[in-house]
Chain A
Amino acid sequence: MSTQRVVVDPITRIEGHLRIEAMLDERGVIKDAMSTGTMWRGIEIILQGRDPRDAWAFTERICGVCTTVHALASVRAVENALGIKVPDNAEIIRNIMFLTQYVQDHVIHFYHLHALDWVDVVSALKADPAATAALAQKVSPSWPLSSTGYFSDVASTLKKFVESGQLGLFQNAYWGHPAYKLPPEANLMAVAHYLEALRWQKEIIKIHTIFGGKNPHPNYVVGGMPCAIDLNSDNAINIERLNLIRDLINNAITIIEQLYLPDLLTIASFYLDWAGIGAGLGNYMSYGDVPQNGIGDPSKFRFPRGIILNKNLAEVLPVDPTDGQQIAEEIAHSWYDYPDGKAALHPFDGVTQPHYTGPKPPYENLDENGKYSWVKAPRWKGNAMEVGPLARVLIGYASGRPDFKEVVTEALGRLNAPPAALFSTLGRTAARGLESRLAVYWLKEEYEHLVANLRAGINVTADTSKWDPETWPAEAKGCGFTEAPRGSLGHWVHIKNGKIADYQVVVPSTWNASPKDGKGQHGAYEAALLGTPMADPKQPVEILRTIHSFDPCLACATHVLGPDGRTLATVKVR
């Protein structure tokens, strides 16, 4: 039997270190795949013995791309353990930072990490600037930068760059591959917008700087937010800061509506065959987020909570990350040991010991029948799950939420595609754009909510009644969760005598990038690659398309045991 093995390592344009090995059948179709996290850092074990009020800063460094999401999950975990309910303004400010992260991160993913899988930069050289301008004006009539002159400038920039002979980031890629289907004009438009988006992403993120002092890695505080509000002070959140935020949000709406979505739909219209590729597991999960009545009331989340199994949109099942029995992590194919040969452990009980059994580097191949990744295999009631934008959009849609229905129906109508098209690589990429559209308007609503509070004289940003460790119980356990841009994120903390006894993190990319479990069920990346035909195994653009559609973040994903063999902790593979 002829089997060809394709290795892509490093997978570039992601966060972290990921390796994919795909086994092709004689027709060049992927029949088996291995997803390998090739980095492990051990953050959770580093957290042991520390002040739980510091944990947000450590865990925030799990990832600088999805910065803030771990900090948010961490302060929520500690607040949950200590019974702290943060003031309304702090919740709103957190929501504003959360939604800002969504909009910024999704735009960066689309243009700077994913677009080059669909856009042929070299083909753009052949574009006619006038025809490009006509295309741009047609797909986004209100976007101002769409003149022939503008595209002539971009084209000449590109030409000079290519002629310099130093192609930098763009060398050795798959340009000219038959899988690239955009006409030159669409390619040129996308290249121009790659640059526009690069300029814009540093603007929108200033919202983090205003509230958190810097980005990446803005500051959080257990019990609220560190930025005080005082409309009579030049040293706190005041009208000047609010005006800047408002302008940045309005600008973001323009970018989403006039740049991101038109580009997304234009590009998608040339790749509708990818609506039939890359479906993967068909199981989706969301913890839900953006609370409207406190984090304790999931029924009022803007992103609804739920589970969909086997692509069944007729039923949304309940999920509860704080329930110790629903989630467990397996290590059948991960480089760890569990005590007593156990197969799966819930995060609150988890014990892990790193134990590398792979080949000695440098190596050519890993063994799909043995252990092959630093990522563990989390499972919900034994099921492998996909998390992220597609999961959230499907759960919102299947829950009957009118806002989700509206954006989904409109996009499917524009592409003349049925709802089943969402179960695909293209659907995953489209869902990210659709939820960005929801997120940017929610962002504006959250801002208006904050202003309404201030108008009513409510300006409290922190509850410090339990700041002092003297007020804490001797022992407490808590769970903090969030829906990070890449999916469901949970932090579990165990506090003893004012210090962290154990800390565990189960990250979105742990779910999606997971290797097989004990029953041989593939993780989401692996499952999505199965059945994909490859035109040229030496230029594996098909693998990149599907893997990038998940927006991998490998800085997030594994578990560790302390050197004394006692403690448990979850660790980031990155």
Chain B
Amino acid sequence: MEKALARLTTYELLQAHGVDRRSFLKFCSMMAAAMGLEATAVGKVVEALEKKPRIPVIWLHGLECTCCSESFIRSSHPIAQDVVLNMISLDYDDTLQAAAGFQVEEIRKRIMKEYPGEYILAVEGNAPTKDGGVYCTVGGQTFLDILRETAEHAKVVVAWGSCASNGCVQAAHPNPTGAMPVHKLIHGKPVINVPGCPPIGEVMTGVITYILTFGRLPELDRIGRPKMFYGQRLHDKCYRRSFFDAGQFVEAWDDEGARKGWCLYKMGCRGPSTYNSCATFKWNNGVSWPIGSGHGCIGCSEANFWDNGPFYQRLSAVPLPGVESTPDQIGKVAAIAAGVGVAAHFGSFLVRRALDKNKAGGERQSSGEHE
């Protein structure tokens, strides 16, 4: 308890940084807005950041590429500096840690011992399970052991990115190392899946600050994703959706449709089967997002997206609405498209792979009937 009191709250630290109360309140409003909260919730944000000591966070790296860490430091509200210095106590993170070697492993063990049930375990990457876990070791210990050991006394486990949530690229067929996502290895502990390759920076800081602010986990969907960030299909929020409905499509890179920003469905866009907030938040402080820069979504936040390819093959041969279509027909098609999305969601890639076998590019040949 004394230790907790000795820790400074976010507000105290911001004050120490010369941040006045007015700026602090503005910051809280932005935080609340970023998390999709109503104006009445701002008070809660203020209260939480004023009174709570910084929660220790252990951030482990398994089989991964560090893109999640890079995305995290790209967050614009709040910026990484504020999260790391003012909101949490990032006690272990091999990418940014000053210490190295046994000193850093000492820190992990100390946090586990001194803060049982209090610390957040953030996991970037996943664990190889084949051959006794020898495909990833840290300090001579397998990552699999480290993950289990560190999760045991964590308050909650946050699975950053598609590696930790779904397996991602190293778990794609044939998964040479037996890579497994966190939720398949850790049981009896809340696991928040924050998929994406990587997830959007503001989504990552949003998940952490939600927990700090409200003292509870965000509401999750049936596969452990925060509803606030993964509840909507890209296709339903896409600013190019009207072109889909009007039957106006990019047919080739750099064609007239590409220059006018028409729908990328025929270029293989996975918007119709992807649940993420790219269409609303966009990337890198709202500058753009994949579809906004002319490339289809590759569905990087969906389970098994690597095996749902090839990426440039359109999702399925469902008839598309055209300019000639009646509203009824469009509605019907939309319902089918939604069905496709849900099916893909349940991992229908095996079925599609079988269907698509030996006909790379075959979809294009049948596209004439849709115009």
Contacts and interface: CB of A to CB of B under 8 A. Distances in A.
Contact of B294 (A168, A236, A244): A236
Contact of B361 (A206, A218, A468): A468
Interface stretch (A33-41, A284-292, A323-331, A515-523): A33-41
A235 interface: yes
Interface in B286-316: 287-295, 298, 300, 306, 309-313
A555 interface: yes
Nearest to A573: B135
A4 interface: no
Given A53-B312, A212-B293, A574-B65, A46 B170 contact: yes
B289 A202 contact: no
A50 B293 contact: no
B74 A205 contact: yes
Given A8-B101, A10-B101, A540-B101, A363 B140 contact: yes
A281 to B, nearest CB: 24
Interface residues of A, number: 111
Contact of A67 (B7, B53, B67): B67
A63 interface: yes
A566 B289 CA distance: 40
Contact of A226 (B69, B70, B253, B260): B253
A361 to B, nearest CB: 5
B99 A46 contact: no
A46 B85 CA distance: 39
B285 A361 contact: no
A214 interface: yes
A216 interface: yes
Contacts of A544: 100
A112 B312 contact: no
B140 A166 contact: no
Interface in B328-371: 360-361, 364
B50 interface: no
B111 to A, nearest CB: 10
Given A13-B95, A362-B141, A468-B361, A43 B169 contact: yes
Contact of A169 (B93, B260, B361): B93
Contacts of A233: 259-261
Interface stretch (A138-146, A156-164, A393-401, A485-493): A156-164
B294 A51 contact: no
Contact of B138 (A10, A64, A206): A10
A440 interface: no
A364 B198 contact: no
Contact of B69 (A39, A64, A160): A64
Nearest to B74: A202
B42 interface: no
Contacts, number: 342
A16 interface: yes
Contacts of A374: 135
B285 A206 contact: yes
A209 B288 contact: yes
Interface in A345-390: 354, 356, 358, 360-364, 374
B73 A198 contact: yes
B325 interface: no
B79 A202 contact: yes
B179 interface: yes
Given A13-B96, A233-B261, A64 B13 contact: no
Contacts of B310: 50-51, 53-54
A370 to B, nearest CB: 15
A445 interface: no
B314 to A, nearest CB: 13
B290 A58 contact: no
A61 B139 contact: no
B293 A356 contact: no
Contact of B7 (A13, A164, A574): A164
Contact of B95 (A12, A211, A364, A462): A12
A64 B66 contact: yes
A498 interface: yes
B94 A12 contact: yes
Most buried by B among A215, A230, A544, A563: A215
Contacts of B211: none
A171 B170 CA distance: 33
A78 to B, nearest CB: 13
A574 B64 contact: yes
Contacts of A555: 64-66
Contact of B293 (A9, A65, A211): A211
Contact of A364 (B91, B140, B309, B361): B140
Given A65-B70, A202-B284, A164 B54 contact: yes
Contacts of B150: none
B81 interface: yes
B232 interface: no
Most buried by A among B96, B106, B132: B96
A172 B312 contact: no
Most buried by A among B140, B254, B288: B254
29 contacts: A10-B139, A11-B100, A13-B98, A39-B63, A46-B176, A51-B310, A51-B311, A53-B312, A63-B67, A64-B65, A116-B98, A156-B17, A166-B7, A173-B99, A213-B289, A214-B293, A219-B293, A228-B253, A229-B259, A236-B258, A244-B287, A358-B134, A361-B145, A364-B140, A374-B135, A469-B360, A469-B361, A470-B361, A574-B65
For the complex of A and B, list the 3 residue pairs with the smallest distance between their C-beta atoms, beginning with the closest.
A64-B67, A235-B261, A42-B176
Given A16-B66, A38-B137, A57-B298, 9 more contacts: A12-B99, A153-B18, A166-B7, A166-B89, A172-B98, A206-B285, A364-B140, A467-B253, A574-B63
